Amino acid sequence: MSKITKEELKDLQELQGKLNAIKHDIGLLSTQIHSLNHMYAEEISKQEELKKGLEENYGKINVDLKDGSYEEIKEETK
């Protein structure tokens, strides 16, 4: 049976190891992205609930996140 040189085999093995490590990292990143998307959606849901409560207490308002002041949103009549 014919064989490639030990140096060529070593190079191929190193490259394959790097490719496997990259695939592993891509899998981890994909999992993290999936988790972060769920966390983001959960926070959006919490924000919407808070907005509903604020609207019940104050009506439709725009809140300045720097100091908590707010302005009423005036609805246009056509």
Residue in this structure with the two tokens 């030990």, named with its chain if needed: 6
Residue in this structure with the two tokens 């907005």, named with its chain if needed: 51
Residue 75's pLDDT is: 82
Tokens for 25? Answer: 């990292």
Residue 77's pLDDT is: 75
10-67 pLDDT, tens per residue? Answer: 999 999 999 999 999 999 999 999 999 999 999 999 999 999 999 999 999 999 999 9
User: How much of the chain, in percent, has pLDDT values that exceed 70?
Assistant: 99
Residue 15's pLDDT is: 98
SS (H, E, C) the chain: CCCCCHHHHHHHHHHHHHHHHHHHHHHHHHHHHHHHHHHHHHHHHHHHHHHHHHHHHHCCEEECCCCCCEEECCCCCC
